[in-house]
Amino acid sequence: MCGIVGYTGSGAKQAAPILLDSLSKLEYRGYDSAGMAVYDDETKSIQFQKTVGRLKGLYDRTHGGADLKGTCGIGHTRWATHGEPTEVNAHPHLNSKQTIAVVHNGIIENYLRWRKRLQDKGYIFKSDTDTEVIVQMLDYYYDGDPLKTITTVMQRLEGSYALGILFSDHAGEIYAARKDSPLIVGKADDAAFIASDVPAILSYTRNVYYMENEEVARLTPGAVEFFNIDEEPVQKEAVTVSWDIHAAEKGGYEYFMLKEIHEEPKAVSDTLNPRIRDGHVVIDELNMTDEEIRGIHKLFIVACGSAYHAGVTGKYVMEGLARIPVEVDIASEFRYRDPIIEEGDYVIIISQSGETADSLAALREAKKRGARTLGIINVVGSSIAREADNVMYTWAGPEIAVATTKAYQTQLIAMYLLSIRFAKARGKIDDAQEKALIDDLKALPEQIRMQLASKADIQKFANRYLAAEHVFFIGRGIDYAISLEGSLKLKEISYVHSEAYPAGELKHGTISLIEDGRLVVAVLTQPNLIKKEISNIVEVKSRGAFVMAVTTVGNTEVEKTADYVVYVPKTNPYFVNSLAVVPLQLFGYYVAIGRGLDVDKPRNLAKSVTVE
């Protein structure tokens, strides 16, 4: 996700070189453009510079920051969410008079409404971003009092934001505001800082204030003040950060993978919330009418690896809710099997990176055969995003660990939303059913968060299987899709051989591999299949297996057969993958940790497989 920095200091120290250095400590967060704005004491104006691509471009363009003179400024590295990675869309964003500059991390969910309102009042927008709406709103409400203006705008914004703001008539001051996106304030003797994350300022100060939701900060070289959204002063205690720079990049987690698992609740919220409006699922990016959706005869979902597993779940949910036939393909198979695509077929390509060669080739094959195509993509402006007819972005933010976790979760969310939207358009569900489904979706982030609280139990269990050679995952229906992902997570980071099987299929050969002590992970969350799955547990138990079961709270009968039971919260059976996958991600993570492996960079693997 985006990186924000800010510096204001007394004396001769120039802000721009410090901003560049601080931004360089946030590069690990992933970005596709960068920029900074500095208050120039001589011209009494805000000067700024932006660039697409790497931070080095900004460094070169400003001669190491020398071209931007001044002791107070803000900087930004952008991970594109709304609007392609271009110079115009890069931050900072300024009002037309260039008297206010803003850098932003987060997603403004009601930005379209405010963009329209301000355009009706004569405002001209230059970029496609949600962020530009913020600076124009600040301009619209500005009465010379930054604090009052900022809180006025905060009361109208919906979504998540961490903001750094300069006002040209308040020299030397930086304002910051926060809701749901992280933001810290640093204090040194003669300077103050803002940053999205600790690494940015560790070399300048370890004296840090963590901003809370709906708080505003005012920074001057000698002081930092905090206020609540009612403009009342807030007393905050500084924290002394003891981390080293590498630990800080991972937010104190040992590996990015664990950090990203913990980011799943926010990734799910960020992908879900902007597409739920007035109690309905609204997916503007589809650019399809209800009639066009009703005209779809068949859906193909094409992807690789974990994205394919999300597609397998998508098949069950889409067919269950919208009653559209769905064919799920592994992209490297789809592209060479001369697929039968006819008028009215719709092909969905799921890809975190948007650069997977097989998935890109499958997209081109589908288009060549006349299908309408949709990309469910995490990286804005990636090849698949650009070439698909329409793109539905997942807003997981940058995923650094090779093994996907939070991005996979957002791919599931995208499939759930599509299925509900298609089911409604085809008259398969009514308003009440849609509302019930949406209520269950809205509960998922907190339920995922609850799951994370039990990670110590998973770690303890994982430590018993560090020497395992073979692990089998079994399930039926959506539980099979969950098993596929659980198996891949384990083998790709711990190098323990693992296979996922439809539970009913085991007896057709593979059960010959079950012997004393063999670990079998059984996923049982589908009410109509649990009894069948319990009989599959009995089958493997009778051949000596040790069974870890993942099931929904209340299914205590599983305890009569399984050896170790992990419970996940109740939700609609269509959505349970989002909860059941969490203990399986953690299981794979802790087995890999226990085996002393580099979890973030497993051998032989790349984050994006851009070759055949």
Residue numbers of the site for ligand AGP (CB under 6 A)?
304-307, 351-353, 356, 359, 402-404, 492, 608-609
Contact assessment for residue 545 and residue 531, using Cβ atoms and an 8 Å cutoff:
no
Distance between CA 157 and CA 107 in Å, rounded? 10
Known active-site residue 72:
no
Instruction: Give 17's DSSP letter.
Output: H
Contact assessment for residue 366 and residue 383, using Cβ atoms and an 8 Å cutoff:
no
Q: How far is the CB of 308 from ligand AGP (least distance, A)?
A: 7
Strand partners, 39: 46, 72
Q: Report the residue closest to ligand AGP, judged by CB.
A: 305
Q: How far is the CB of 359 from ligand AGP (least distance, A)?
A: 5
Distance between CA 572 and CA 7 in Å, rounded? 48
Known active-site residue 116:
no
Whether omega for the bond prior to residue 325 falls within 30 degrees of 0, making it cis, is no
Give the closest residue to 379 by CA, choosing from 611, 80, 174, 100.
Answer: 80
Contacts of 311 (CB under 8 A, 6+ apart): 301, 302, 303, 328, 348, 350, 415
Q: How far is the CB of 492 from ligand AGP (least distance, A)?
A: 6
Q: How far is the CB of 375 from ligand AGP (least distance, A)?
A: 10
**Residue 305 or 583 with smaller CB distance to ligand AGP:** 305
**Residue 434 or 492 with smaller CB distance to ligand AGP:** 492
Distance between CA 256 and CA 290 in Å, rounded? 41
Question: Residue 498 CB: number of other CB atoms within 10 A?
Answer: 24
Given the structure tokens 């709304």, which residue do they identify? Answer: 82
Strand partners, 162: 105, 178
**Residue 513 or 606 with smaller CB distance to ligand AGP:** 606
What percent of the residues of the chain are helix, what percent strand, and what percent coil, each to the nearest 5? 40, 25, 35
3-class DSSP state of 484: helix
**Residue 101 or 403 with smaller CB distance to ligand AGP:** 403
Catalytic choice (236, 442, 532, 607): 607
**Residue 70 or 375 with smaller CB distance to ligand AGP:** 375
Given the structure tokens 């993509």, which residue do they identify? Answer: 377
**Residue 513 or 605 with smaller CB distance to ligand AGP:** 605
**Residue 229 or 609 with smaller CB distance to ligand AGP:** 609
Length, in residues, of the chain: 612
Q: How far is the CB of 231 from ligand AGP (least distance, A)?
A: 45
Query: Hey, which bits of 128-196 come out as E strands?
Result: 161-167, 174-179, 184-188, 191-195
Distance between CA 464 and CA 467 in Å, rounded? 8
**β-strand 298-303 against 345-351: which pairing, if any?**
parallel
Question: DSSP readout, 395-452?
Answer: ------SSS-SHHHHHHHHHHHHHHHHHHHHTTSS-HHHHHHHHHHHHHHHHHHHHHH
Say how far residue 466 (Cα) sits from the centre of its chain. 30
Determine the longest span between alpha carbons in the chain, in angstroms.
83
* Tokens matching residue 159: 């979504």
**Residue 136 or 411 with smaller CB distance to ligand AGP:** 411
In Å, how far are 269, 270, 297, 349, 581 from 569, measured between CA atoms?
A: 17, 21, 35, 30, 12
**Residue 71 or 409 with smaller CB distance to ligand AGP:** 409
Q: How far is the CB of 504 from ligand AGP (least distance, A)?
A: 25
Given the structure tokens 């964003």, which residue do they identify? Answer: 93
Question: DSSP readout, 68-136?
Answer: S--SEEEEEEE--SSS-S-TTTSSPEE-TTS-EEEEEES-BTTHHHHHHHHHHTT----SS-SHHHHHH
Question: Residue 254 CB: number of other CB atoms within 10 A?
Answer: 13
Q: How far is the CB of 181 from ligand AGP (least distance, A)?
A: 24
Q: How far is the CB of 603 from ligand AGP (least distance, A)?
A: 13
Give the closest residue to 29 by CA, choosing from 194, 248, 186.
Answer: 248
Q: How far is the CB of 591 from ligand AGP (least distance, A)?
A: 15
Say how far residue 390 (Cα) sits from the centre of its chain. 20
Q: How far is the CB of 302 from ligand AGP (least distance, A)?
A: 10
Distance between CA 106 and CA 95 in Å, rounded? 19
Which residues does the annotation mark as catalytic? 2, 607
